[in-house]
Structure 1
Amino acid sequence: MRISDHALWGVGGTVRSMTSSYPTLSLHVAGHWLTQASGGERVVINPATEEPLARLPLAGPAELAAAAESAQRGFEQWRRVRPHDRYVTLRRAAELLRQRADEIATVLTLEQGKPLAEAKREVTLSADIIDVQAEEAKRLYGRGVAPRVDGILSHTVTRVPVGPVAAFTPWNFPVNLPSRKLGSALAAGCSVVIKPAEETPASCMLLVRCFLDAGVPPDAINMVCGDPAQVSSFLIERPEIAKVSVTGSVAVGKLLGEQAARHVKRFTGELGGHAPVIVAEDMAEGAGLDFVLKQSVTAKYRNAGQVCASPIRFYVPRAQLAVFSERFAAAAQKLQLGSGLDAATQMGPLSHARRIDDMERFVDDAVGQGARLLTGGHRVARPGFFFEPTVFAEAPASTRLMQQEPFGPIAVIQPYDTLDAAIEQANALPYGLGAYAFTRDLHTAHRLGEAIEAGMVGINHFGVSQPELPFGGIRESGIGHEQGPEGITHYTEIKTITVGRPF
């Protein structure tokens, strides 16, 4: 049973059913925390209960302009801080994030829904990401080039911060994704205007406080929320903004990329995926099958499938299709759904009501085109945005499920007759973010690693995202990378300095 909009409000327009663990929401603009803004406000909902958590102030043109101007001032200040000193400050921010992990994880679970253990892991992993990027601040090396003509003393190629950054992040990892952008941009010497998702603003707000408390200049980080289309268009057009970084859907990424291109601004887009999993014959039975199933079910339903690199299409040998499908579906059925604050919960709710509606459309389309529904497929009859872990088998290639990222707890199991056919099917879509394969054979492992077309390929595991590794995709899954040395360079420009003899 959903709470109607009018039921959210009590006498005098105050939100009822506030959660004491959830903070008062504010924007950070030009060095000030704002609990009111000219764009109005919206209610933030707990997806596990559909109850209100707080009211979020929304930035209008006045606050957005102030944030852009502040970012320019912050850039002029922060870019002059020595790389080692930026490193020290960012390491301090990471340590504060670890110290506050329990508080931030609880807030994350309240507004996003994932189990508390997953939320805690997200916060601590975010601190690790900031640590790694802080280290990279000291390693933005240039190079010297020997002169080839008389009168030239030196040629130096160096990297300089690109300028103020407009960063846009979604709701599925509300600490991790902002940490990637803030860590890299600040390490490079850039300032940032960050816009987290309006569904999950408090997680990012608490993260920003860690950076500010660590000593990052107030003008170097601005945080705004508002109407997404208005905020993105406004900031991208502002002359102060030199770089745009977005994590989101393919459609949103294309739109913001086009807007950035019109203003000749640097752009990084980490977009959607449709990750395949190829199970080789040597891992499709016995102990190998046990291992694959345990790893796969855990990875598929982590964060209720709301992960851009989540496994979706499982390709198994035709002879093992029946047993693999049956056991996968049985394991999915056993998952405990509930509030992320309940220690027994294995899968939380979807993040908002729109995801439920979209899951139902995926299911209806797949069933209508003849895919076999093995388990799930329905909204759970309880408060909150819960949808059953869902498994299909033998879905036609024309189904929406086989063409578009469901971004939810839906898996599809497909048979293959030869490994070449499985590779061809895995590469058939215009996406290329994450991909996975399981095999005991070293030759097959190398073959799959080379043949599967994706930015990240995991063999015998799903942990392709580590703080030291670049995170990014090919084709429609994005442009550029986050994390590691590759991630920080996207926030820099190359500058060549040639010095000649004065006479």
Structure 2
Amino acid sequence: MTSSYPSLALHVAGQWTDHTSGGSRPVVNPATAMELGLLPLAGLAELAAAAESAQRGYLAWRRVRPHERYVILRRAADLLRQRVDAVATVLTLEQGKPLSEARREVTLSADIIDFQAEEAKRLYGRAVAPRVEGILSHTVTRVPVGPVAAFTAWNFPVNLPSRKLGSALAAGCSVVIKPAEETPGSCMLLVQCFLDAGVPADAINLVCGDPAQVSSFLIGRPEIAKVSVTGSVAVGKLLGVQAAAHVKRFTGELGGHAPVIVCEDMCEGGAMDFVLRQAVAAKYRNAGQVCASPIRFYVPRAHLGTFSERFSAAAKALRLGPGMDAATQMGPLSHARRIEDMERFVDDAIGLGARLLTGGHRVERPGFFFEPTVFADAPASTRLMQQEPFGPMAVIQPYDTLEGAIGQANALPYALGAYAFTRDLHAAHQLGEGIEAGMVGINHFGVSQPELPFGGHKESGLGQEMGAEGLLHYTEIKTITVGTPF
């Protein structure tokens, strides 16, 4: 236990409670494997109460004028900034990432809420000229879709709920938010910011519990009008099917397998230094537990040896340790089963002939640490080339032509993030147009910004979060026509 970690509770039917019918489970610090606290779990009674509360909250919140919603949400963002130290500390304790990364996540989350608050004032309708006599007007408007069931993952336990809560509340919806059971504390503090800012208590319910039970129960409830999920492709498909069975709106931000194409003109001198510095930082941020994390690095065959050697050396030099240590560059994985999965990826790759350049082992120390790992020349049949490792693992592959590299980048059924590096303007446009992905970053990895839509193509998801587009997914289109009474 630590005094920096809060007493855990759920927010159901307008109040915080730790007396629930679903039992409890420990929350563990991944840097030490020690218990931080006990999380109360929702049973069917709490889940039903949360759905009913969300309906009451929706009926109240949708009547609040957009400008007033804007004021309240901006206040919530300001409160989150004021509480950044406390929230970031809890985030690092339960998730493991370095404190500097946690602080950045919290401040960026406040920016996301700010942007969506501004967009609440811009849900414009349009007037359509009538085509026949006797019709006075046609108006096309956007209205809130209704109560939302939102499911988020453990890798960004403030950012992901902020996207969903900020967008849904800005549009006039209420939310039942289910954070990951591994990382509930930071979401609790986020929800408190919204409540303290003036969001009605019934408009936000926070529940945790058995994931399968919580999701199937809430998706099946008549009060819930929309489902939003951030998670794996497998989980997203399952929840998408459940939502479709009830004809409910669905947004899924799912997994990826991001390629990085390094062009010939970026493989010498300072240009390669620039690529390597950005690539290693992006790959091992949050220990690789990022859905848009770069995984497959495609390098011209003539430069494969140099690039691989330098990338591996930089990865090996990263300082591992607890996120609360200011010197730490990469923290632990989020839970013990991630270590076991990394070992399966390594065994499979080596068994099928990939070259291990560095890493590949768990670190013998308390907590869930795994070495930064780099492979080269991995056969296409390896798990590493087919499935998202979601950990500190990269693979460096050669290519002979730019067209061939684009073909390799597009070979998988995932298309969330993708990246390329070049100084050639023609090549930049060829890459931007040719790579299949929801987000393509040229010469940088910062594709996730509050002003930009975040989402994937193919099996990487449906819909977008953030940006003006993200808000629209929490609305329905309504047409109102008015004719003469006689």
Do they superpose with TM above 0.5?
Answer: yes
* 1:401 and 2:377 are equivalent in the alignment: no
Task: State the secondary structure of the residue aligned to 2:224.
Answer: coil
Paired with 2:229 and 2:9, the residues of 1 have a C-alpha distance of: 22
Paired with 1:411 and 1:324, the residues of 2 have a C-alpha distance of: 13
* 1:150 and 2:133 are equivalent in the alignment: yes
> Aligned residue for 2:240?
257
> Aligned residue for 1:15?
none
> Aligned residue for 2:289?
306
* 1:107 and 2:96 are equivalent in the alignment: no
For residue 124 of structure 1, the aligned residue among 107, 111, 122 is 107
Q: CA deviation at 1:284?
A: 1.2
Q: CA deviation at 1:441?
A: 0.5
Unaligned runs of at least 5 residues, structure 1: 1-17
Query: How do 1:185-224 residues align onto structure 2 when only pairs under 5 Å count?
Result: 185-224=168-207
Task: State the secondary structure of the residue aligned to 1:348.
Answer: coil
* 1:86 and 2:58 are equivalent in the alignment: no
Paired with 1:47 and 1:37, the residues of 2 have a C-alpha distance of: 26
The amino acid of 2:35's aligned partner reads P
> Aligned residue for 1:363?
346
Q: CA deviation at 1:353?
A: 0.5
Paired with 1:256 and 1:423, the residues of 2 have a C-alpha distance of: 32
TM-score by length of 2: 1.00
Query: How do 1:51-450 residues align onto structure 2 when only pairs under 5 Å count?
Result: 51-450=34-433
> Aligned residue for 2:20?
37
Q: CA deviation at 1:35?
A: 1.2
Query: How do 1:437-476 residues align onto structure 2 when only pairs under 5 Å count?
Result: 437-476=420-459
Task: State the secondary structure of the residue aligned to 1:498.
Answer: strand
Q: CA deviation at 1:36?
A: 2.1
Task: State the secondary structure of the residue aligned to 1:337.
Answer: coil
The amino acid of 2:185's aligned partner reads A
Task: State the secondary structure of the residue aligned to 2:122.
Answer: coil
> Aligned residue for 1:6?
none
Please list the CA deviations of residues 234-286 of structure 1 after superposition, one character each: whole Å capped at 9, or x if unmatched: 00000000000000000000000000000000000000000000000000111
The amino acid of 1:98's aligned partner reads R
Paired with 2:219 and 2:104, the residues of 1 have a C-alpha distance of: 33
Q: CA deviation at 1:287?
A: 1.0
The amino acid of 2:42's aligned partner reads A
Share of identical aligned residues, percent?
A: 84
Q: CA RMSD in A?
A: 0.3
Unaligned runs of at least 5 residues, structure 2: none
Please list the CA deviations of residues 156-181 of structure 1 after superposition, one character each: whole Å capped at 9, or x if unmatched: 00000000000000000000000000
Paired with 1:216 and 1:117, the residues of 2 have a C-alpha distance of: 29
Paired with 2:50 and 2:299, the residues of 1 have a C-alpha distance of: 51
Paired with 1:275 and 1:188, the residues of 2 have a C-alpha distance of: 31
Paired with 2:17 and 2:353, the residues of 1 have a C-alpha distance of: 53
Please list the CA deviations of residues 59-103 of structure 1 after superposition, one character each: whole Å capped at 9, or x if unmatched: 000000000000000000000000000000000000000000000
Paired with 2:152 and 2:53, the residues of 1 have a C-alpha distance of: 20
The amino acid of 1:261's aligned partner reads A
Task: State the secondary structure of the residue aligned to 1:155.
Answer: strand
Q: How many residues align?
A: 486
* 1:492 and 2:475 are equivalent in the alignment: yes
> Aligned residue for 2:9?
26
Please list the CA deviations of residues 396-418 of structure 1 after superposition, one character each: whole Å capped at 9, or x if unmatched: 00000000000000000000011
> Aligned residue for 1:10?
none
Please list the CA deviations of residues 407-464 of structure 1 after superposition, one character each: whole Å capped at 9, or x if unmatched: 0000000000111110000000000000000000011001100000000000000000
Task: State the secondary structure of the residue aligned to 2:74.
Answer: helix
Task: State the secondary structure of the residue aligned to 1:138.
Answer: helix
The runs of at least 4 aligned residues of structure 1 exceeding 3 Å deviation read none
> Aligned residue for 1:11?
none
Please list the CA deviations of residues 278-300 of structure 1 after superposition, one character each: whole Å capped at 9, or x if unmatched: 00000011111100000000000
